[in-house]
Structure 1
């Protein structure tokens, strides 16, 4: 497996059995620290891991290269596919390495990290307990074929800002409409914000994770 730099926060409270795992995927030009402190808001039983993007841009890190401009960004298919495979291997590896529950692995991704979380949901839905894509979208060109049947039972909490100038709200709504007939456990929420994670969104995630972990 390709080596990928990660930081982690061990559970702050005990679980009945192996703890759940939350993997946080940052956006383009950022790094593993960007989302990490959000872990303070979530269930203290979670083991949190934040990996660094595999591409060093000089001013930050990314999962794949982008062309175009904000509002019309064009992904590079080769580096995106490589990142998906690297992250899929990480998802498979971490529960055994960390001692977390392999049936309770969650992804939270922002922007490019959200794109990766949706790509992973389509690629390895059976290895995930749920995903939280924020300010991202499902790119049909990232799929190997039709969405797998297993995505029907995968909990998905999709969040987007209506004022997002980087990833326009239209992209999020297309993703919503693509998932709606297939993903029976898909929740979609818009907020009147830009390309960011709002406190309302954080509170929604808190409740959504709490509901998942209670079952």
Structure 2
């Protein structure tokens, strides 16, 4: 498997593009995966070869795109840390992790992150000559939040959504938008012992999406705020299932 990785700008975001497509073959599916709060822009890039090794069909047909979030966290002492939107100081300091209350709010900076990511989806669609229905969106933690927000708002439904240890925010907006995404395939996974984003909040997100008619595959695992090996297997299967039928 000859893996190619390039750094490029798509829309207004710097991205790593990883693929092992046969030379001259266009992708049949594009997968956009967004990192979490405080992670470096390249944090999730190693997932591409892991997923391709698990399911070789992904190497043959998929282009993976890993955008770096637009905000730098250098001022917080994280020189390579990036964020999709800033978190309130009390949440950062761990003094107030009241996610039930936070879920009701639209975080400051979310609309700007949404615009940047929507621009990226449009650029990926144009560059790969793929309709939105051949693009999967997903991410880890805050990356899962921003991709859920975008998935519910795009003009056309994407191929699927992957929420890896994400949580519910902008509750009333998401609930209203989710009704228009009936049938959308969603893969959601969350650790039962996650101390960063509580498991119960993930269940609430699952229930809200399910009640709106989205097709949610929910994987709980025994672990913290991380990506679990079983989760990676199920994610690979989910992506294979999004490939066009042959």
**How does the TM-score come out when normalised to structure 1?**
0.89
CA–CA distance in 1 between the matches of 2:155 and 2:224?
A: 29
Residue of 54, 65, 83 corresponding to 1:62? 83
CA–CA distance in 1 between the matches of 2:14 and 2:84?
A: 13
Residue in 1 that maps onto 2:32: 23
Matched, 1:6 2:4: no
- Helix, strand or coil at the partner of 2:124: helix
Q: CA deviation at 1:204?
A: 0.7
Q: CA deviation at 1:30?
A: 0.8
Q: CA RMSD in A?
A: 2.4
Is the 1:18–1:101 Cα contact (8 Å) retained in structure 2? no
Residue in 1 that maps onto 2:6: none
Residue in 2 that maps onto 1:147: 177
Segments of 5+ residues of structure 1 without an aligned counterpart are none
| Residues 1-215 of structure 1: pairs in structure 2 closer than 5 A | 3-13=12-22, 18-40=27-49, 41-42=51-52, 43-44=58-59, 45-58=61-74, 59=78, 60-67=81-88, 68-69=90-91, 70=94, 71-72=97-98, 74=102, 77-124=107-154, 126-141=156-171, 143=173, 146-213=176-243, 215=245
Q: CA deviation at 1:151?
A: 1.2
Is the 2:163–2:188 Cα contact (8 Å) retained in structure 1? yes
Rate the CA distance shift 1:150–1:66 in 2: closer, same or farther, 3 A: same
Q: CA deviation at 1:72?
A: 3.5
**How does the TM-score come out when normalised to structure 2?**
0.79
Q: CA deviation at 1:125?
A: 6.6
CA–CA distance in 1 between the matches of 2:164 and 2:64?
A: 17
Rate the CA distance shift 1:125–1:204 in 2: closer, same or farther, 3 A: farther
Rate the CA distance shift 1:145–1:199 in 2: closer, same or farther, 3 A: closer
Residues 148-203 of structure 1: per-residue CA shift (max 9 Å, x gap): 43311211001100000000001101101111111341111100110000001000
Q: CA deviation at 1:7?
A: 1.0
CA–CA distance in 1 between the matches of 2:155 and 2:191?
A: 25
Paired residues in the alignment total 215
